[in-house]
Amino acid sequence: MRVRAAAVFATPFLFALAALAADAPKAPAAASPDQSKAEVRFKNVQAFKGYPADAVFPAMQFMSAALGVDCEYCHVDREPESDDKKEKKVARKMITMTLAINQNNFDGRVEVTCMSCHRGATDPVAVPIIAATEPTEEPAAPKPVALPAVKSVLDKYAQAVGGADALAKIKTRVQKGTITGFGPGPLPVDVLSEAPDKRVTIVSNPKGQNITAFDGQHGWLFNTGRPARDMSPSEGENARFDAMILFPSDFKRLFKELKVASLDTIDGKAAVKVLALNDGSPAVDIWFDAQSGLIVRVMRYAETPIGRNPTEISYADFRAADGVTIPFRWTVARPSGRFTVQLEESKQNAPVDAKSFVKPAQGPPS
């Protein structure tokens, strides 16, 4: 059942659905119904009635990942409102069931999700699995290791990236490179950013552009030929984080609390895992290389009404650029697939047009 394209936003089917969804109900301005509600913006939303409209796409991505399927498993192409497929009707019942389980047993906290039962398959397993091997002796419990203090991890990081003075001097970055795993073959990518938290990533493909942006307030996504889609607040928080990590002098301001969780191994090297906490949003896990002090991996989650969509970003190919050490390569991995950006150049403090971060009304920004 694993027939998904590399990136969710790279599947043509999703483009089609996204277009339809955004084209959907055009109510007369006079009536001004609340477009922020799922049942107003979409044509046939019943289970998610009363939920924010911008939660619908993240929830759809969550369901696809939890069942290990594509959108087409439940949807008729280009008619997401259609209930013709039996799977969609079952899924609607399942959404209502899952919301009720959490409401009735966990005070509304999202504890049970599609993933709890489905584990990446359409048919949940109900019977315990028979052991595949003969029992072996339990390995001795590892000796507890002394964890470094969070302050020393952050200080080491600040030193590793170039120190506060060097960081403070970088106001913008204009980066160019290639992206692989985001459609057919390597594609050119441009990353424009402005301190502290504006960032736009533009992938150019033969048909146009695919843009992911955070404008300092909101996140948005755009594909040529389709209207832009707003990120949900939780997706936006993550996009803000991605933008701010490019200007790490503001790093500590991002979170209310940071605490060291464990010593792990990332790509064969010791790394300190730090939990970054904020009220009301899932913790972000950040791994600092124990030797270099640099951030080598981040794991973060976007909340949906029925569960969390995970994203893992791994950073590599660190180089000095105007006194600041930055990754020239990063890999973004999600349940739907992974892509890698490899930079060829990074120009610090080059001019960035303010319009680059503004969500396009219809067509792509030229």
Counting contacts by CB under 6 A, is residue 116 touching ligand HEC?
Answer: yes
Looking at the Cβ atoms of 22 and 277, the one nearer to ligand HEC is 22
Least Cβ distance, residue 298 to ligand HEC (angstroms): 23
Task: Please state the closest distance from residue 125 (CB atom) to ligand HEC, in A.
Answer: 9
Query: What is the rounded CA–CA span in Å between residue 273 and residue 265?
Result: 9
Q: What is the 3-state secondary structure (H, E, C) of 75-136?
A: CECCECCCCCCHHHHHHHHHHHHHHHHHHHHCCCCCCCCHHHHHCCCCCCCCCCCCCCCCCC
Residues in 258-317 that interact with ligand HEC by CB under 6 A: 306
Cβ-contact 272, 292 below 8 angstroms: no
Measured distance CA(195)–CA(168) in Å, rounded: 9
Asked if 94 and 28 touch (Cβ cutoff 8 Å), the reply is no
Q: Which amino acid is present at 116?
A: S
Residue 327 sits in the site that holds ligand HEC (CB under 6 A): no
Window of 90-98, 173-181, 200-208, 325-333 that interacts with ligand HEC by CB under 6 A: 90-98
**Position 114 contacts ligand HEC (CB under 6 A):** yes
Between vectors from CA 345 to CA 228 and to CA 180, what angle results, nearest 5°?
Answer: 55
Among 15, 52, 68, 87, binds ligand HEC (CB under 6 A): 87
Give yes or no for residue 212 binding ligand HEC (CB under 6 A). no
The answer to the question of residue 229 lying near ligand HEC (CB under 6 A) is no
Residue 118 near ligand HEC by CB under 6 A: yes
Q: How far apart are the first and last CA of the chain?
A: 39
| Among positions 4, 54, 61, 297, the unique one binding ligand HEC when judged by CB under 6 A | 61
Token output for 72 = 């087409």
Among 53, 112, 246, 290, binds ligand HEC (CB under 6 A): 112
Helix, strand, coil percent content, the chain, rounded in steps of 5: 30, 35, 40
Whole-number Å distance between alpha carbons of 29 and 274:
48
Number of residues in the chain: 366
Please pick, from the candidates 6, 40, 81, 277, the single residue that binds ligand HEC as defined by CB under 6 A: 81
Q: Is 350 in the site for ligand HEC (CB under 6 A)?
A: no
Q: Which of 55, 60, 276, 284 binds ligand HEC (CB under 6 A)?
A: 60
Nearer to ligand HEC, 91 or 153 (CB): 91
Q: Taking CB under 6 A as the criterion, which residues in 35-54 touch ligand HEC?
A: 42-48
Among 103, 122, 159, 217, binds ligand HEC (CB under 6 A): 122
Give CA–CA dist 305/156, Å, rounded.
Answer: 38
Which one of the spans 114-122, 249-257, 264-272, 289-297 is the region binding ligand HEC (CB under 6 A)? 114-122
Query: Whose CA is closest to 3, among 11, 236, 196?
Result: 11
Within 8 A by CB and 6+ apart from 276, the residues are 254, 255, 257, 258, 283, 284, 285, 286
| # binding residues, ligand HEC (CB under 6 A) | 42
Angle, CA of 294, 172 and 361, to the nearest 5°: 115
Find the binder of ligand HEC among 27, 76, 90, 354 (CB under 6 A). Answer: 90
- Closest separation in Å from C-beta 20 to ligand HEC: 7
Binding stretches for ligand HEC (CB under 6 A) = 8, 14, 17, 21, 24, 42-48, 56, 60-61, 63-64, 67, 69, 71, 73-75, 80-81, 87-88, 90-92, 94-95, 98, 112, 114, 116-118, 122-124, 306
